[in-house]
Amino acid sequence: MAKLILNHVGKDFGTGKPAVSALSLDVREGGFLALLGPSGCGKTTVLRMIAGFETPTDGSIHLGERLLADASQSLPPERRNMAMVFQSYALWPHMNVADNVGYPLKVRGIVGEAYRRKVRDALSTVRLAEYAERRPADLSGGQRQRVALARCLVTSPDVVLLDEPLANLDRHLKQEMEESFREFHMRSGATMIYVTHDQSEAMALATDVAVMSEGHLLQVAPPAEIYARPEGRMVGGLIGRGAILTMRSPGGDKRNFDWNALQAMILDQPDDGSQIDVLVRPEDVLLGGGGIPATVQSVLYEGERYALRLALADGQMLRAFSRTAVQAGDALKIAIRSAWRL
């Protein structure tokens, strides 16, 4: 395997606005990269350019020292040694599980013991060895998805591409499949690129998250870093369930603020016209005791806790969690343990 490199890649379909603009990205060998962003942001177009289904208008795509595509040439998909999993499982209903998994090998002319060994190994990786003789109709949705993963793995691809593969699953099955994807990545060692608009999926699965908006790459970082230190309002709004407050600037280039600093920014700092945006996570909003006044706007019971929307005196909104029941309209005092300057 080798590092996948996208160098100032762009794609313009002639609609007046490029689908992807000057996107540069290194996908580490053996990593699990999530391409995260709202619908229409260009993430699937990036995946299709990597796969070879689209040719970049600008820039280039490399796998190690090997040029896959640029504006003048593009290696066909079948010569890139990549595999792709779509939202639909795309399994042949008349074939059993083993034949579905082994089909890419037959296309490549691999037969005999080599064929059987590769199919066995792929099914073992996704823990479906005992289902080899079953038809897809006899499997659950999660098992069919694992068959699709095994079919990817059987050809030992350099890169596995996944286009919102969990989008059609219910919440319980989605959580189960997240575990399967993590295990698949660990056991296979494959480099994986995963397109999703669901930030919880990206945070749960990926070793790195790349956030996109309107064809541009905004930030790439490991999940914990992108959660704690997002860059800009778009990333801060997409990652987690935080609220963005506009406050008077304290000056300087400090990024992380504790409650003492925030109190001055909210209450005491003279208004000289300069403002900053800060991201406040709900787990950092403390209810009760001394603090600033807030009014409960809405309450959502989530089983283990209550999720609150709070209005500050100036009308700005915060999110918070509470272990005890409160009512809309209640007046509270709050403190903010930590906030991050965007």
The string of pLDDT tens digits covering residues 111-167 is: 999 999 999 988 988 889 999 999 999 998 888 888 988 898 888 888 999 988 877
DSSP state of 74: B
CB contact set of 200 (below 8 Å; sequence gap of 6+): none
Average pLDDT in the chain: 90
Name the residue with higher pLDDT: 183 or 133.
133
Domain boundaries, the chain: 4-229, 243-341
Q: What is the CATH number of domain 4-229?
A: 3.40.50.300
Distance (Å, rounded) from C-alpha 272 to C-alpha 247?
A: 11
pLDDT tens sequence across 293-314? 999 999 999 999 999 999 999 8
Strands 243-248 and 275-280, sheet pairing: antiparallel
Structure tokens that stand for 236 in this block: 């801060």
Torsion of CA 275, 276, 277, 282, to 10 degrees: -100
For a pLDDT cut of 90, what percent of the chain falls above it? 61
Give the type of residue at 274. Answer: S
Q: Confidence class of residue 241 from pLDDT cuts 50, 70 and 90?
A: confident
Question: Does residue 85 register a pLDDT over 60?
Answer: yes
DSSP-derived pairing of the beta strands 285-301 and 306-312: antiparallel
Tell me the chain's radius of gyration from C-alpha atoms: 24
Q: CA-to-CA distance for 6 and 206, rounded, in angstroms? A: 18
Q: Has residue 269 got a pLDDT over 60?
A: no
88 has a pLDDT exceeding 80? no
d(CA 158, CA 279): 38
**Which numeric CATH code is attached to 243-341?**
2.40.50.140
pLDDT interval class at 86 (50, 70, 90): confident
- Three-state DSSP state, 287: strand
Residue 185 has pLDDT above 90, yes or no: no
